[in-house]
Structure 1
């Protein structure tokens, strides 16, 4: 009985990406906690508000990617259902779309 090296390599890559996403989720959660602490400086309110929104968006994207991993749909384009290249996922682990579909998405 032979082992399919591609499946093993894919599983190792997914495990590595899951660890990266989990670490990033934890870091973004800590950042959000820091950002939502009231410093009392009204001059920072606008900047802090923008940073909070960006951090929440990042957390949502990471959470969605971790959910797709749990569901087994991670690495498949949400639009055309083609596999998302491993290189794209290495660079942008929370990617939902392949490059052509992302360009159409806007």
Structure 2
């Protein structure tokens, strides 16, 4: 079921915006916490895990921020490659989706 977000339920979109904003705040707090940790145990595995968590958190913030910008500018829910509507079911599972499934599959190749 493809739905044009511009004509879909605005309550759903408002709820999504609130949820993404909350996720953004949580991820921002996590990033701050991770960058303030200065306990160097000398364990290279722990340093590697911390670096991976920092990278993942920054990536999450980038994706959430981009989704919030697309909501604000009216482009949310449209594939960035083919401009077709992204199915609502995909957006419910992956709210920061930029591409429809076929375009995502081509993008990953």
Structure-1-length-normalised TM-score: 0.88
**1:1-106 equivalences in 2 (<5 Å):** 7=7, 9-37=8-36, 38-43=38-43, 44-106=46-108
Structure-2-length-normalised TM-score: 0.86
Gaps of 5+ in 2: 1-5
For the residue of structure 2 that corresponds to 1:42, the secondary structure is: coil
Give the distance between the partners of 1:42 and 1:81, measured in 2 at CA.
49
Following superposition, the deviation at residue 12 of structure 1 comes to 1.2
1:3 corresponds to: none
Displacement over 4 Å in runs of 4+: none
2:3 corresponds to: none
**What is the RMSD computed on CA atoms of the aligned residues?**
1.4
Larger RCO of the pair (alpha carbons < 8 Å, separation 6+): 2
Gaps of 5+ in 1: 1-5
Give the distance between the partners of 1:100 and 1:82, measured in 2 at CA.
11
